[in-house]
A = this chain, B = another copy of it.
Amino acid sequence: MSSIPAVPAANRLLNALPDSDRQHLLAHCERVNLSFAEVLYLAGTKIPHVYFPIDSFISLVTPVDGDIGLEVGLIGDEGILGITLTLGVDIAPFQALVQGAGSALRISVPLFLQELERSRPLQLELKRYLYVSMSQLAQTAACNRFHLVEARLARWLLMTHDRAHADTFHVTHIFLAYILGVRRVGITKAALSLQEQKLISYRRGDITVLDRGGLEGAACECYRTERDTYERILGT
């Protein structure tokens, strides 16, 4: 019954579409619940579904040397998972794993492609989202290269805060270490430092943002740069 949500959908990318285009697309979507740490795509394999997160959020991770990885993208209700389909390639370039449990709209690949073909506004919107994604990817690359773990952690927490729609969310140190490409101990230290500054509080994987403004001060400029890019290209 509640498989098709009321208009407007709670995904900002879809909300930007004209009513008729959105309705058309939503008619083919089903609402699904994504659970923490669920792997939606495996790098190099065929894309099974397209997702529009609502209150869930998804990490894109590029695998390195077998076991380790590095986050190269974070998708929440501002985006879409499966964007490369618009490039005519149905192979996932990255691993996609659920970082924040919650709901999302899901559509099959053939139906998505059909709607993409039909809807010019959808094409335009997705192209611009792709541009933003590329910009963020480059920003992340530079950030990983130059900025300290603590600043990068602060940035990640802010980005996640934006997508979680809640001050508290679940993520362990070891998970963060994987995402940021550092040792678990490095995360522990950085998180302790942020905690001592009363910016966050931490308790067995449940992290709470206490002082968002302070966190922005602790983060590198990359966070603001990313927001600006988003606003400039996709902002209303």
B131 touching A87, Cβ below 8 Å: yes
CB distance from A166 to the nearest CB of B (A): 29
B144 touching A87, Cβ below 8 Å: no
B141 touching A62, Cβ below 8 Å: yes
B residues less than 8 Å from A127 (CB atoms): 86-89
Chain B residue, CB-CB nearest to A68: B146
Partner of A141, one of B88, B91, B140, B221: B140
Chain B residue, CB-CB nearest to A66: B221
B residues less than 8 Å from A27 (CB atoms): none
B131 touching A93, Cβ below 8 Å: yes
Tally of this chain's copies: 2
A146 touching B65, Cβ below 8 Å: yes
A137 at the interface (CB under 8 A from B): yes
Assembled-state Cα–Cα distance A93/B133 (Å): 11
B residues less than 8 Å from A94 (CB atoms): 138
Interface flags for A5-48 (1: CB within 8 Å of B; 0: not) read: 00000000000000000000000000000000000000000000
A139 touching B84, Cβ below 8 Å: no
Partner of A130, one of B65, B72, B87, B124: B87
B181 touching A62, Cβ below 8 Å: no
B124 touching A93, Cβ below 8 Å: no
Partner of A137, one of B70, B124, B134, B145: B134
Q: Which of A84, A133, A142 has the most CB of B within 10 A?
A: A142
Interface flags for A215-236 (1: CB within 8 Å of B; 0: not) read: 0000001000000000011000
A233 touching B89, Cβ below 8 Å: yes
A118 at the interface (CB under 8 A from B): no
CB distance from A17 to the nearest CB of B (A): 15
CB distance from A62 to the nearest CB of B (A): 4
CB distance from A176 to the nearest CB of B (A): 15
Assembled-state Cα–Cα distance A181/B146 (Å): 8
B residues less than 8 Å from A68 (CB atoms): 146
Within 8 A of B (CB), among A130-170: 130-131, 133-135, 137-146
A64 at the interface (CB under 8 A from B): yes
| 5 A-B pairs in the complex with CB atoms less than 8 angstroms apart | A64-B145, A65-B146, A70-B141, A137-B141, A142-B181
